[in-house]
Amino acid sequence: CWDLVDAVKFLGKDNEGRLIIIEVVQDHETYRIINLYCPNGEGERIKFLKQLWKWCSGVKNCFLVGDFNICLTKMDRAQQERHKKDASRTELINLMEQNSLVDIWRILHPNKCQFSRRQVVLGELKQVFLALLHPRVWAGTVEAKRPLETSN
Name 12's bridge partners. 21
The answer to whether the beta carbons of residues 69 and 128 sit under 8 Å apart is yes
The per-residue pLDDT for 46 is 97
Those residues with Cβ within 8 angstroms of residue 30's Cβ, 6 or more apart along the chain or in another chain: 23, 24, 61
pLDDT profile of the chain (152 residues), mean per 10: 76 95 91 94 95 92 90 72 80 94 85 65 62 76 40 32
CATH number at residue 10: 3.60.10.10
The pLDDT value recorded for residue 152 is 30
Neighbours of 87 (CB within 10 A): 12
pLDDT score, position 93 = 93
Long-range contacts (CB closer than 8 Å, 24 or more residues apart) made by 13-19: 18/48, 19/48, 19/51
Question: Does 35 belong to an annotated binding site?
Answer: no
Instruction: Quote the number of domains for the chain.
Output: 1
C-alpha angle 130/15/29, rounded to 5°? 50
Residue 41: which domain range?
Answer: 2-150
Q: Is 6 annotated as a binding residue?
A: no
Q: In the prediction, which pLDDT does 133 show? A: 86
